Structures are given as C-alpha cells and as structure tokens.
Amino acid sequence: MRAIKCAKYGTPDVLRLGEVQKPTPKDNEVLIKINATVVTPADCAFRKADPFITRFFCGLTKPKFVPGVELAGEVEAVGKDVTLFKRGDSVFGAAATGFGAHAEYKCLPETGVVALKPSNMSCEEAVAVCDGGLTALTFLRDIAKIQSGQKILINGASGAVGLYAVQLARYYGAEVTGVCSTTNAALVKLYGVDKVIDYTKEDFTKTGQTYDIIFDAVGKSSFSHCKGSIKPRGMYLGTVPTLAILFQTLWTSKFGSKKAIFSATGLKQSKENLIFLKELAEAGEIKSVIDRRYSLEQIAEAHRYVETGRKKGNVVITLPQ
C-alpha cells in the first residue's frame, strides 16, 4: 500500500510517498481503508521533533513511524473476535501514539478510538471532528469542567481546535470571546462567539475583562501574560508543552487560586468522547470547517501551509475512494 515515509527529522521535504506492507488485522482489530485524514500542527511538530520530547514517541535519532493520527474511511476487514463493526461500515477515529493514518490502510482495535461516522457528514467532515473536536472536548469538559454562565476566552478561535472549542463552549452555555485576526472575525462569529477581539489591533489582556477560562488553542500566549485576565479560581489551558507551562502546571497545582494546566490530550482520547462528538454532529450542534484539501502526494505542501499558522479550521488529506 502507499504511505508517507519520513526518513529523518526536518522540513516538509523529508516526507515521501512510498510503498509499505499493508497491515493485517489482529483478532480484535478492524482494517480501515482510509478515505480522509488531516495534517495538524502536531503532525508538523512530530516531523520536526520540536519540541524534543516528541522524539520519545517517534524515535530518538530518526523517525520510525508512518505519520498521521486522525482518519475516516471504510472497514475492509475485521478480526475474528470483532463484534462492534462489520465490513463496509463507515467509521472515523484516531490512532493516538500508534500513528499511521497518512496511508491507504490502518488497523485499529475495535475498543480503541474508533466509531461509526456521523451519518450526516462526509469522511472529510468527520475526520475534521477527530482533529479539533477531541482536543477541545477534553480540555473544556473533562479538565475545565465548563459550566453554563461562565466566561471563556479562546485564543486562536479560528483554528481547528479553536472552532470546536467555540461550538462546545456555546453548547455548554458559556459566554464566549474569540481572539483571531480581522480576516477570520466573521467566521468565528458564524460559529457562535459572543465577542471577537482582533489580536492585530488589541491585546486581550489589556481590555480589563476577566474570564473563568482562558483557552490558548494555538500556544501563542502564556499563563504569565494572561494571569491578570483570569478570575480567582479560574484557569489557563495550554495546548503546547513548553517548559514554562509544564512548570506552571506543577507550581499552580500547589500554590495560588489561578491554575495553569497543560494536558497531553492525545493520550486521553476515548471511544466514549468520540461517540459523544458523533451524536453532537448528528444533532447539528457542531460542524466542521475545512480550509484546504490536498492529496496524499501533496503532503509536503499541506505541511507547509499548516506551518504558516494561517489555516482556518482543518487541512484535510483526501484519498481515492
């Protein structure tokens, strides 16, 4: 089968499309023919080994994996012990630290992060939910325990994680302020923010407003910078594992009423959360935003675009069906 190979850490040019052995499902696994996957900032970080900690998942000296985590497609074969899925089912899910989604086929355990695709979504739309939706849900519902009436500021509201965070915060009844550029203000309003702050014109920490939750969905701010805008017993949620946020997470867990929290949500994804997002999608509570589509052959170009930091929603890789 065709798959993306990454022979060394570096620029997008290290990515090559080549042939690898097609996987065979184990007794408890499903073999998925992939129709859509995504390129995320995390994929770019793993490709570059930046931060260094990513090497502990991918290989200390050189990458030893087919990249890609999120996928959507069709079940082509099932192991003899599988009861939840059958051949022909349309599914979506995530491989977590198993990677391998930037390929034509991937095996996942039936008890893993895989579920029937939302009936009202294409594979491209469904895989987009896996990308930003799982991360946003884990941070807002499971970690922050967001409540109706709370005030939340989402920095990077027009990105993949940010747009799902906007929709989930509104679903839970919070008052949402979104931070983005002038270009994306109309988009985030369309998806439910109550107020937009244009970061090219105004620093949200200088407005005098305070929030129960500040969710930095793009890793462009810091707890120290935002602390004055957080209410007592409020929290700052960081998505990028810098040394500063790791130290502040540990420090504020012991001292002070304002908390800084980083979580490796990719290690905390669950089938239950995926099914919950599927139900929200089918109820029309969340929708996908696809910025650009690329083929598997264009993977390097997709990485280059994601690294500009200007993508709106998701960047999807489509494979022939």
Q: What domains sit in the chain, N to C, each tagged with a CATH number?
A: 2-129+287-318 (3.90.180.10), 130-266 (3.40.50.720)
Evaluate if residue 290 carries a pLDDT over 90. Answer: yes
**Which amino acid is located at 251 in the chain?**
W
Integer Cα distance of 286 and 273 in angstroms: 14
Sheet of strand 211-216: strand arrangement: 195-198, 175-180, 151-155, 211-216, 230-238, 259-262
294: left (phi over 0), alpha (psi -120 to 50) or beta: beta
Q: What is the DSSP string of 96-125?
A: GGG---SBSEEEEETTSSEEEPPTTS-HHH
What are the angstrom distances between the C-alpha of 189 and each of 120, 166, 219, 253, 286?
23, 9, 22, 34, 14
Give the model's confidence band at 97: pLDDT under 50 very low, under 70 low, under 90 confident, else very high.
confident
- Tokens for 24? 């065979």
C-beta separation of 90 from 84 below 8 A = no
Is 36 strand, coil or helix? strand
Evaluate if residue 151 carries a pLDDT over 90. Answer: yes
- 248 against 103, higher pLDDT: 103
Give the model's confidence band at 224: pLDDT under 50 very low, under 70 low, under 90 confident, else very high.
very high
Give the model's confidence band at 301: pLDDT under 50 very low, under 70 low, under 90 confident, else very high.
very high
pLDDT, residue 62, reads 83
Give the model's confidence band at 49: pLDDT under 50 very low, under 70 low, under 90 confident, else very high.
confident
* Mean pLDDT estimate for the chain: 94
pLDDT, residue 321, reads 78
Picking from 78-82, 174-178, 196-200, 267-271, which range would have the lowest pLDDT averaged per residue?
267-271
Integer Cα distance of 18 and 31 in angstroms: 20
pLDDT, residue 59, reads 75
pLDDT, residue 311, reads 93
